[in-house]
């Protein structure tokens, strides 16, 4: 399940935070477990190529742990954590940009700028998108879903995917493009009509 | 080829990591000219990342992430202490109740502990969806519960009802009492992991650590089952203690009878009252039921073997050496306390328990470099199993010589007082006011916040009573 959302009404999270602030470091595990999925989801879509999402997520948790005294109990912990994560991501992207040939070798500059622009969207949007995406994946026919499984779950090479499906590598690439596009449209449509999944 | 087609080609290659520098430059030029293509590119990229995230997601992936993150947290006091205690050698699971247990509710840390307890009692999360199997009747130290949905609850408190799930006693000082609806009780202590379920019958999975159980008669054909890494125990109604390690399970039956199946070869043994058995993973070892050894009333340290905490300083040309105190941070971040600690196991590699009897006294030899107050302490267990509390006494040493002074003192058992006075007053039957009549689990001494350069060369328990009066179960 990737649907757990963090909200300021989550009393178990607040209890854990209070416990950590009282010296029970072990209770921070509750914080990490509850927040890591939304945080990684947000980072995954905001981070440009070359950024290690798990590394930035871990750094964000460590920074949050170190500054936990600054968090005001009863307010929105997720928002506070995402503010830290945004700063951590910015730091990492700045580091990458200083690599001389980063733009040439890894990421077109415009992609970075657009990602940065979108990072101002509310972080919880990505979790909602993720939930809708799971629903959209469930609607895909098996003949299409297998491409997603091969590419993302099994991570098999494109030429093997081509051999398995009896198509050319170029056709497989095109198929993946269409699938991503179709899933994006599905998610957008669900966002427009349903809003946040129940 | 039109622009869109070319863009899709380049973009697909980009996502697959197959686009070279000239291709990236071409892609950059395309999206620079057409905002629509840029938006398509970023939509596709984000979808690509979300699909990867969903594909990778699993419980084990999350566990690994959580584990790695926690391991990277800055070492505050509590974490440091926990880390230290995790690395204190443990000869048997009984050693789980060692140095850190001795240190809990230290007078200087009472305030911090009280804060944690009071917080735990406010706004406690209570599972509602599943039926209650057990209720927490006593709790001390770091104990957490993981339910069927995987949610970890760290703030447990007395009175909490729990459905099926896993109770973890996280550190050497922690323990909890659980009570089933039929009145059967289980105590988990030290570093232990116990999964509880009750469907057709009660089932406990003790992955590691130790438990004491007092089981009321169970329905015909539905014995309580205890699973350990090496054995399966069938319990109809009895009082027993179990210590589970990866390679062996030690069962001691105080009342009733327990049927043991050794998993390695399927061999079975019936263990009657006042007997014990070790179910080893080693097929060559016999599954032999033996009477519980009679306790002894004297004990002499073997420092290289018994040392749980401290720095071993061998003496060149001599088989003897000394165990020097080592620092251990303790307490909440606001009021950290550094203990300079030496800790010894008493039960390690000794088959017979050591009984503390009236008139018993410790003789301690060593050396101290500077003046200070030294706290001497004991961890005890009841004769028939179960944590029985900690006891301590302090002595002030004035050191005149710059090079330090030899230390040779005697401490009578009667001088020791309960470290957890509140528990002794609240439940004297469970946490007696005196260590006399209890079994000695481990021994320790320390100074607080000042390194007095304490070195221990010899610890001995002696008594004038040769035939102990063993207390009855209860």
Residues of A in contact with B151 (CB under 8 A): 12, 33
| A96-110, B155-169, B181-195: range with lowest mean pLDDT | A96-110
Residue B38 lies in domain: 3-54
> Of residues A163 and A100, which shows the higher confidence score?
A163
Q: In Å, how far is A182's CA from the nearest CA of chain B?
A: 10
Residue B329 sits in the same domain as residue B455:
yes
Task: Report the distance separating Cα A40 and Cα A44, nearest Å.
Answer: 6
Instruction: Assess whether B287 and B324 both reside in one domain.
Output: no
Task: Please indicate whether, in this complex, the C-beta atoms of B155 and A32 are within 8 angstroms of each other.
Answer: no
Q: Would you say residue B112 lies in a domain?
A: no
Q: Which is more confident, A138 or B88?
A: A138
In this structure, the answer to whether residues B326 and B249 fall within a common structural domain is no
Domain assignment present for B250: yes
Q: pLDDT, tens digit, for every residue of B118-143?
A: 222 222 333 345 678 999 987 776 68
- How far is the first Cα of chain A from the last one, in angstroms, to the nearest whole number? 14
Residue-wise pLDDT tens digits, B7-39: 999 998 888 888 888 888 888 889 889 999 999
Does a structural domain hold residue B260? Answer: yes
CA distance B335 to chain A (A): 10
Question: Of B37, B54, B71, at which residue does a domain stop?
Answer: B54
- CB contacts of B155 in chain A (<8 Å) are 15-16, 19, 27
Chain A residues with CB inside 8 Å of B57's CB?
A: 2, 37
pLDDT at residue B472 in the model: 41
- Whether B90 maps to a domain, the answer reads no
- B25 near A CB under 8 A: yes
Name the residue of chain B whose CA is nearest to A101's CA. Answer: B21
Distance (Å) from the C-alpha of residue B8 to the closest C-alpha of chain A? 7
Per-residue pLDDT tens digits for A18-62: 888 887 888 899 999 999 999 999 999 999 888 889 999 999 999
**What is the pLDDT confidence band of residue B380, given thresholds at 50, 70 and 90?**
confident
Class of residue B301 by CB neighbours under 10 A (exposed 0-12, middle 13-18, buried 19+): buried
Are residues B310 and B452 part of one domain? yes
Q: How far apart are alpha carbons B446 and B444 in whole angstroms?
A: 7
Which residues in chain A (124-143) have CB-CB distances under 8 A to chain B?
126, 129-130, 133-134, 137
Structural contact between residues A179 and A144, judged by C-beta atoms closer than 8 angstroms: yes
Residue of A nearest to B25 (CA): A104
Same structural domain for residues B304 and B163?
A: no
Indicate the residue of B16, B54, B332 with minimum beta-carbon distance to A134: B54
A9 touches chain B (CB under 8 A): no
The pLDDT mean for chain B works out to 78
Contact present, A15 and B125 (Cβ < 8 Å): yes
Average pLDDT, chain A: 85
Q: Let me know the angle formed at the C-alpha of B273 by B270 and B275, rounded to the nearest 5 degrees.
A: 70
Whether residue B264 contacts residue B232, with contact meaning beta carbons closer than 8 Å, is answered with no
3-state DSSP percent of chain B in helix, strand and coil, to 5:
25, 40, 40
- For residue B331, the model assigns a pLDDT of 47
Q: What is the pLDDT of residue B465?
A: 41
Contact A45 B46 (CB under 8 A): yes
Same domain as B361, residue B455: yes
**Is the CB of residue A2 less than 8 Å away from at least one CB of chain B?**
yes
Nearest CA in chain B to A107: B24
pLDDT one-digit tens code per residue, B232-267: 999 977 888 888 877 888 888 888 899 999 998 899
Mark yes or no for CB contact A177/B11 under 8 Å.
yes
Q: Which residues of B touch A40 (CB under 8 A)?
A: 53, 65
Q: Is residue B137 part of a domain?
A: yes
Tokens of B400: 């005149």
Q: Which of residues 18-77 of A touch B (CB under 8 A)?
A: 18-19, 22-30, 32-33, 36-37, 40-41, 44-45, 47, 54, 57-58, 61-62, 65-66
Chain A partners of B125 at a C-beta cutoff of 8 Å?
A: 11-12, 15
Q: Which of A29-33, B50-54, B215-219 comes out lowest in average pLDDT?
A: B215-219
Average pLDDT over residues A171-188: 94
Average pLDDT on B372-394 reads 82
The closest CB to that of A108, out of B24, B51, B57, belongs to B24
* Identity of the residue in B47, B65, B154 whose CB atom sits nearest the CB atom of A24: B154
**Interface check A114 vs B, CB under 8 A:** yes
Burial state string for A99-119 with b = 16 or more CB within 10 A and e = fewer than 16: eeebbbebbbbbbbebbeebb
Q: What is the Cα–Cα distance from B141 to B97, expressed in whole angstroms?
A: 12
pLDDT at B419 over 80: no
Show the CA angle centred on residue A30, arms to residues A29 and A31, nearest 5°: 90
Q: Are residues B450 and B367 in the same domain?
A: yes
Which residue in A has a C-alpha nearest to residue B43's C-alpha? A184
Which of A5, A110, A149, A185 best tests the B interface by mutation, with the highest count of B CBs <10 A? A110
| In CATH, A123-198 is 1.10.10 | yes
Check whether residue B312 and residue B352 sit in a common domain. yes
Residue where one domain finishes, among candidates B54, B73, B96: B54
The neighbouring-strand residues paired with B259 are B234, B270
Task: Evaluate whether B219 touches B244 at the Cβ level (below 8 Å).
Answer: no
In a domain, B96, yes or no: no
Number of domains in chain B: 3
Q: Are residues B251 and B134 in the same domain?
A: yes
Closest CA to B333 of B18, B49, B115: B115
A28 vs B contacts (CB less than 8 Å) = 70, 73
- Residue B51 to residue A133, Cβ atoms within 8 A: yes
Asked if A1-121 and A123-198 have one fold, the answer is no
Q: What is the mean pLDDT of residues B205-230?
A: 89
Contact state of A62 with B72 under an 8 Å Cβ cutoff: yes
Cβ(A147)–Cβ(A161) below 8 Å: yes
CATH of the domain at B144: 2.60.120.1440
Which of A66, A16, A22, A31 is CA-nearest to residue B74? A66
Q: In angstroms, what separates the C-alpha of A125 from chain B's closest C-alpha?
A: 12
B108: in domain: no
CATH no. for A1-121:
1.10.1740.10
CA distance A96 to chain B (A): 17
B282 in the same domain as B305: no
Residue ranges per structural domain of chain A: 1-121, 123-198
Of the two residues B171 and B262, the one the predictor is more confident about is B262
Please identify, among B242, B270, B291, the residue that sits at the C-terminal boundary of a domain: B291
Give B398's pLDDT tier (boundaries 50, 70, 90). Answer: confident
Shortest Cα–Cα distance, A151 to chain B (Å): 9
pLDDT over threshold 50, residue B471:
no
pLDDT greater than 80 at residue B412? yes
Tell whether B247 is within 8 A of chain A (Cβ): no
Indicate if B276 and B323 belong to the same structural domain: no
Residues B177 and B286 occupy one common structural domain: yes
Q: Which B residues in the span 333-372 are in contact with A, Cβ-Cβ below 8 Å? A: 333-334
Q: Is the pLDDT of residue B47 over 90?
A: yes
């Amino acid at each position: 399940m990737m649907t757990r959302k963090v909200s300021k009404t989550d009393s178990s999270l607040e209890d854990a935070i209070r416990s950590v602030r009282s010296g029970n470091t072990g209770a921070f595990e509750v914080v990490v477990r509850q927040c890591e999925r939304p945080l990684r989801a947000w980072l995954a879509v905001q981070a440009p190529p070359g950024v290690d999402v798990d590394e930035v997520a871990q750094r964000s948790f460590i920074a949050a742990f170190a500054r936990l005294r600054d968090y005001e109990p009863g307010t929105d912990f997720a928002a506070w954590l995402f503010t830290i994560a945004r700063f951590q991501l910015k730091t990492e992207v700045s580091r990458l940009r200083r690599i001389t040939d980063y733009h040439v070798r890894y990421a077109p500059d415009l992609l970075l700028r657009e990602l940065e622009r979108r990072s101002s969207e509310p972080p919880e949007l990505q979790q909602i998108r993720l939930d809708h995406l799971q629903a959209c994946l469930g609607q895909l026919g098996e003949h299409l879903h297998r491409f997603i499984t091969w590419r993302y779950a099994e991570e098999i090479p494109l030429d093997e995917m081509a051999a398995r499906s009896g198509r050319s590598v170029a056709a497989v690439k095109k198929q993946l493009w269409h699938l991503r596009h179709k899933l994006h449209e599905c998610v957008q449509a669900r966002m427009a009509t349903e809003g946040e999944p129940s | 080829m039109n622009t869109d087609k070319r863009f899709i080609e380049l973009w697909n290659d980009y996502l697959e990591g197959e686009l070279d520098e000239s291709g990236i430059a071409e892609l950059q030029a395309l999206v620079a000219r057409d905002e629509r293509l840029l938006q398509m590119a970023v939509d596709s990229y984000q979808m690509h990342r979300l699909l990867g995230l969903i594909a990778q997601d699993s419980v084990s992936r999350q566990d690994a992430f959580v584990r790695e993150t926690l391991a990277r947290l800055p070492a505050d006091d509590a974490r440091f202490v926990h880390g230290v205690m995790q690395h204190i050698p443990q000869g048997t699971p009984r050693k789980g109740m060692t140095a850190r247990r001795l240190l809990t509710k230290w007078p200087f840390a009472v305030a911090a502990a009280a804060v944690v307890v009071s917080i735990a009692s406010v706004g406690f999360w209570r599972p509602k969806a599943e039926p209650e199997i057990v209720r927490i009747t006593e709790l001390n130290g770091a104990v957490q519960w993981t339910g069927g949905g995987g949610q970890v609850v760290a703030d447990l408190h007395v009175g909490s009802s729990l459905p099926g799930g896993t109770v973890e006693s996280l550190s050497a000082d922690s323990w909890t009492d659980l009570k089933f609806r039929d009145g059967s009780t289980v105590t988990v202590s030290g570093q232990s992991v116990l999964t509880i379920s009750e469907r057709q019958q009660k089932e406990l999975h003790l992955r590691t650590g130790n438990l004491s159980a007092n089981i009321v008669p169970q329905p015909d054909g539905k014995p309580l089952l205890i699973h350990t890494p090496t054995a399966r125990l069938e319990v109809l109604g009895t009082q027993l203690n179990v210590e589970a390690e990866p390679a062996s399970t030690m069962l001691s039956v105080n009342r009733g009878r327990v049927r043991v199946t050794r998993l390695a070869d399927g061999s079975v043994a019936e263990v009657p009252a006042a007997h014990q058995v070790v179910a080893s993973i080693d097929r060559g070892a016999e599954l032999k039921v033996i009477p519980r050894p009679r306790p002894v009333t004297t004990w002499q340290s073997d420092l290289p073997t018994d040392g749980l905490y401290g720095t071993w300083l061998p003496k060149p040309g001599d088989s003897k050496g000394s165990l020097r105190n080592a620092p251990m941070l303790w307490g909440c971040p606001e009021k950290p306390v550094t203990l300079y600690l030496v800790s010894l196991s008493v039960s390690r590699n000794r088959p017979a328990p050591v009984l503390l009897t009236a008139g018993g006294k410790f003789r301690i030899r060593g050396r101290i470099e500077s003046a200070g107050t030294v706290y001497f302490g004991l961890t005890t267990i009841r004769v028939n199993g179960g944590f029985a509390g900690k006891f301590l006494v302090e002595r002030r040493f004035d050191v005149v010589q710059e090079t330090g002074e030899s230390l040779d003192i005697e401490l009578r058992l009667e001088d020791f007082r309960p470290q957890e006075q509140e528990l002794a007053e609240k439940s004297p039957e469970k946490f007696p006011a005196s260590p006399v009549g209890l079994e000695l689990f481990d021994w320790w001494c320390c100074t607080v916040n000042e390194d007095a350069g304490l070195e221990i060369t010899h610890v001995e328990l002696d008594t004038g009573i040769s035939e102990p009066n063993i207390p009855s179960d209860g």
